[in-house]
């Protein structure tokens, strides 16, 4: 014979609950316990715990962002901007498991509608919409992994965003004018040199801004980037040509006392070593140095060689 355990459960308070209503509720609970073997007290506690663990999209986003910063995730500040500006206003107050595909669709529509009134919006706001959707997808993937929701609503929408495409390239004359113009235009020396450094190394502006003096390996003449400093999360080594080295010397009087070549930053991380494609990269840096010599040292734009002339000079330079 199995033993039964007695326990108390509160069903209501007098006078809101009269005797008849209380007796009816008691009969229902008794039936659940004795006829179906259920435990109303345990079920109530489990439901209370479940409700307490439910989070809103905004509160869980803060967990997501904190985790991203602990992992030194690139562009985490940009992600937070998307959440604050476009995502939270629509779904921030909703519980994670209450967010629907219609809610997701609404904020990407809002982004594209807003872009119509902004002349500088990239591709009609579709690039911003793409990034906002990507942030939200990662948010809900993490929420599913942690058991905060059962489904990712982003997977059930038709994305309206698209990747930005850069088809614009600088002409030789524009390279010459860019090289010989920043200081004349009143651009601060460090900023002007950072722009030139991005040109001569052909690296992303974010990577140039994060460059540390300690990243330059003088014995190898290589700028070595850490995994969290690159877009594809892999170690990247950039051979330095003469122009890159000269630019670093130009900015040293301004920034030599701080860790960062082009100004103060908060990026930290462990250094790894990667030697893949060093030979090819170094050769490319030398060829680009040669090409820049042919362009930026001209006394006027009229003296800049044509593309065919440049190709001919490179072929006879012995660099290839």
238 sits in which H/E element: strand 236-239
Report the alpha-carbon distance of residue 197 to residue 189 in Å, rounded.
12
Of 291 and 166, the structure prediction assigns the larger pLDDT to 291
8 A C-beta contact, residue 17 and residue 9: no
pLDDT at 271: 30
Q: Lowest mean pLDDT: which of 76-85, 145-154, 205-214, 265-274?
A: 265-274
Structure tokens at 149: 């929701």
Same domain, 232 and 311: yes
Is the pLDDT reported for residue 269 higher than 60? no
32 inside domain: yes
Is the pLDDT reported for residue 164 higher than 60? no
82 inside domain: yes
Over residues 134-159, the mean pLDDT reads: 92
Same domain, 87 and 208: no
Model confidence over 33-52: pLDDT tens digits?
776 777 777 777 766 666 65
pLDDT at 270: 32
Same domain, 278 and 198: yes
Same domain, 178 and 145: no
Same domain, 196 and 310: yes
Of 16 and 287, the structure prediction assigns the larger pLDDT to 287
pLDDT at 14: 76
Same domain, 309 and 255: yes
Do the strands 222-225 and 236-239 form a parallel or antiparallel pair, or are they unpaired? antiparallel
Is the pLDDT reported for residue 156 higher than 60? yes
Residue percentage of the chain with pLDDT more than 70: 83
Is the pLDDT reported for residue 262 higher than 50? yes
284 sits in which H/E element: helix 278-296
Residue 217's nearest CA partner among 192, 236, 190, 189 is 236
164 inside domain: no
Q: Lowest mean pLDDT: which of 136-145, 228-237, 255-264, 272-281?
A: 272-281
Q: Lowest mean pLDDT: which of 33-37, 215-219, 245-249?
A: 33-37
Is the pLDDT reported for residue 266 higher than 90? no
163 inside domain: no
Residue 284's nearest CA partner among 245, 246, 247, 237 is 237
205 inside domain: yes
Residue written as token pair 């980037």 = 225
12 inside domain: no
pLDDT at 221: 92
Domain termination residue (choose one: 33, 53, 73): 53
Model confidence over 94-106: pLDDT tens digits?
999 999 999 999 9
DSSP single-letter state for residue 125: G
Same domain, 24 and 65: no
Domain termination residue (choose one: 11, 28, 53): 53
Same domain, 121 and 176: no
180 sits in which H/E element: helix 172-180
Longest dimension (CA), the chain: 105
Model confidence over 64-88: pLDDT tens digits?
999 998 888 878 888 999 999 999 9
8 inside domain: no
37 inside domain: yes
Domain termination residue (choose one: 156, 182, 205): 156
Same domain, 23 and 81: no
Same domain, 132 and 247: no
Q: Can you give the CATH number for the domain in which 151 is found?
A: 1.10.150.130
Same domain, 184 and 136: no
Contacts of 294 (CB under 8 A, 6+ apart): 304, 305, 310, 313
Q: Which domain holds residue 37?
A: 19-53
Structure tokens at 182: 């920043």
Q: Can you give the CATH number for the domain in which 182 is found?
A: 1.10.443
Q: How many domains does the structure of the chain reveal?
A: 3
Q: Lowest mean pLDDT: which of 161-165, 226-230, 248-252?
A: 161-165
Same domain, 131 and 231: no
Q: Is the dihedral of CA 113, 117, 120, 123 positive or negative?
A: positive
Report the alpha-carbon distance of residue 286 to residue 240 in Å, rounded.
8
């Amino acid at each position: 014979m199995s033993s039964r355990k007695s326990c108390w459960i509160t069903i209501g308070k007098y006078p809101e609950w009269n005797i008849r209503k209380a007796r009816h509720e008691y009969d229902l609970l008794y039936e659940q316990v004795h006829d179906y073997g259920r435990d109303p007290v345990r079920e109530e506690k489990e439901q209370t715990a479940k409700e307490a663990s439910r989070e809103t999209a905004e509160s869980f986003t803060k967990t997501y962002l904190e985790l991203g910063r602990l992992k030194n995730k690139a562009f985490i500040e940009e992600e937070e901007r998307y959440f604050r500006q476009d995502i939270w206003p629509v779904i921030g107050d909703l519980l994670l498991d209450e967010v629907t595909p219609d809610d997701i669709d609404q904020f990407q529509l809002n982004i594209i509608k807003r872009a119509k009134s902004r002349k500088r919006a990239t591709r009609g706001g579709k690039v911003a919409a793409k990034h906002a959707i990507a942030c939200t997808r990662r948010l809900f993937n993490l929420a599913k992994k942690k058991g905060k929701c059962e489904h990712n609503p982003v997977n059930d929408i038709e994305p309206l965003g698209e990747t930005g495409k850069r088809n614009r390239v600088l002409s030789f004359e524009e390279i010459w004018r860019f090289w010989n113009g920043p200081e004349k235009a009143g651009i601060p020396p460090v900023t002007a040199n950072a722009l030139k450094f991005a040109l001569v190394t052909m690296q992303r502006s974010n990577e140039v801004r994060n460059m540390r003096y300690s990243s330059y390996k003088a014995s190898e003449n290589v700028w070595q980037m850490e995994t969290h400093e690159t877009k594809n999360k892999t170690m990247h080594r950039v051979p330095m040509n003469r122009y890159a080295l000269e630019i670093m010397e130009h900015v040293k009087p301004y920034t030599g006392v701080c860790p960062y070549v082009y100004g103060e930053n908060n990026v930290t991380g462990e250094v790894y070593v990667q030697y893949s494609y060093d030979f090819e990269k170094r050769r490319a840096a030398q060829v680009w140095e040669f090409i820049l010599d042919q362009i930026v040292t001209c006394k006027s734009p009229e003296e800049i060689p044509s593309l065919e002339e440049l190709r001919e000079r490179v072929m006879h330079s012995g660099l290839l």
